[in-house]
């Protein structure tokens, strides 16, 4: 099911949209909703957002960035593994903890690893996970690792907060046959969404929902208009 997602909105439990805006997001042409954020993510806020979104028939993935907000009720659970982190914790240890604590709670078919490469040094997630900035060749090699060594379901080229390098995305896309390529970062318009969707299997739109809602909402129509 997640294999067919072309467009996804990412909602941050630590940020606010009006109910009217949330209704519009859930009724849009987007293929799915990801719930996740880097900081201030609480059980209460996540539960509230999930309950609201669940009124609609959109697939919903919880990105497990903190164990505190892990709960049943989602279609999928994305477990980030930050490939360009300089600390093993963000690649292995938190994931180990998540699996250990949730193994009896969640259906194992719903747990999906996301191999992240975070490319924006100003992004909170980049700083939190102590990333280094890889070269383009490094990124391509990480994609190869995701596909060939780890056989991850997702490779996530993450520019959170800034619009990324479409040429690099294209290069990465040429290396991935089985691993699903996700692009996220700085998409504010349908033209940008379409540009990245040429190469990414799935594009993610997050921040612009909170900054330029109407334009952001239109990005869900990449294949429709
Ligand atoms: C963030 O990749 C997503 O994790 C989307 O990025 O918030 O910049 O749209 P933006």
pLDDT in tens, 176-203: 999 999 999 999 999 999 999 999 999 9
pLDDT tens for the chain, 225 residues long, are 999 999 999 999 999 999 999 999 999 999 999 999 888 888 899 999 999 999 999 999 999 887 777 888 899 999 999 999 999 999 999 888 888 877 777 888 899 999 999 999 999 999 999 999 999 999 999 999 999 999 999 999 999 999 999 999 999 999 999 999 999 999 999 999 999 999 999 999 999 999 999 999 999 999 775
By alpha-carbon position, which residue is closest to atom 6 of ligand 1?
Answer: 185
Instruction: Identify which of 156, 160, 185, 172 has the alpha carbon closest to the alpha carbon of residue 80.
Output: 156
Ligand 1 touching residue 208 (CB < 6 A): yes
Looking at residue 66, what is its pLDDT? Answer: 77
Nearest atom of ligand 1 to the alpha carbon of 209: 9
Distance CA 20, CA 122 (A): 31
Instruction: Identify which of 206, 134, 146, 191 has the alpha carbon closest to the alpha carbon of residue 173.
Output: 146
Ligand 1 touching residue 207 (CB < 6 A): yes
Element (H, E) at 144: helix 136-144
pLDDT digits (tens, 9 = 90+) for 57-67: 999 999 988 77
Domains, the chain, ordered by start: 2-224 (3.20.20.390)
Annotated binding site for sn-glycerol 1-phosphate: 10, 156-161, 186, 206-207
Looking at residue 73, what is its pLDDT? Answer: 87
Residue 155 alpha carbon to ligand 1 centre in Å: 14
Looking at residue 101, what is its pLDDT? Answer: 79
- The helix, strand and coil proportions of the chain, stated in percent and rounded to the nearest 5, come to 40, 20, 40
Burial classification of residue 174, based on how many CB atoms lie within 10 Å of its CB (0-12 exposed, 13-18 middle, 19 or more buried) = exposed
Looking at residue 225, what is its pLDDT? Answer: 59
Ligand 1 touching residue 219 (CB < 6 A): no
């Amino acid at each position: 099911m997640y294999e067919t997602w072309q467009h996804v909105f990412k909602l941050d439990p630590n940020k606010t949209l009006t109910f009217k805006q949330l209704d519009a997001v859930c009724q849009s042409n987007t293929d799915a909703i990801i719930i996740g954020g880097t900081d201030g993510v609480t059980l209460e806020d996540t539960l509230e957002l999930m309950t609201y979104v669940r009124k609609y028939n959109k697939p919903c993935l919880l990105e497990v960035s903190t164990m505190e907000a892990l709960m049943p009720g989602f279609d999928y659970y994305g477990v980030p593994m930050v490939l360009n982190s300089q600390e093993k914790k963000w690649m292995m240890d938190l994931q180990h903890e998540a699996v250990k604590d949730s193994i009896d709670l969640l259906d194992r078919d719903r747990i999906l690893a996301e191999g992240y490469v975070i490319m924006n040094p100003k992004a909170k997630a980049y700083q939190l996970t102590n990333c280094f900035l890889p070269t383009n060749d490094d990124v391509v090699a990480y994609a190869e690792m995701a596909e060939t060594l780890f056989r991850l379901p997702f490779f996530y080229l993450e520019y959170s907060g800034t619009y990324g390098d479409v040429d690099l995305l294209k290069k990465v896309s040429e290396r991935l046959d089985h691993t699903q390529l996700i692009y996220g970062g700085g998409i504010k318009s349908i033209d940008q969404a379409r540009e990245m969707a040429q190469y990414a299997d799935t594009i993610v739109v997050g921040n612009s929902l909170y900054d330029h809602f109407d334009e952001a909402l239109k990005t869900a129509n990449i294949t429709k208009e």
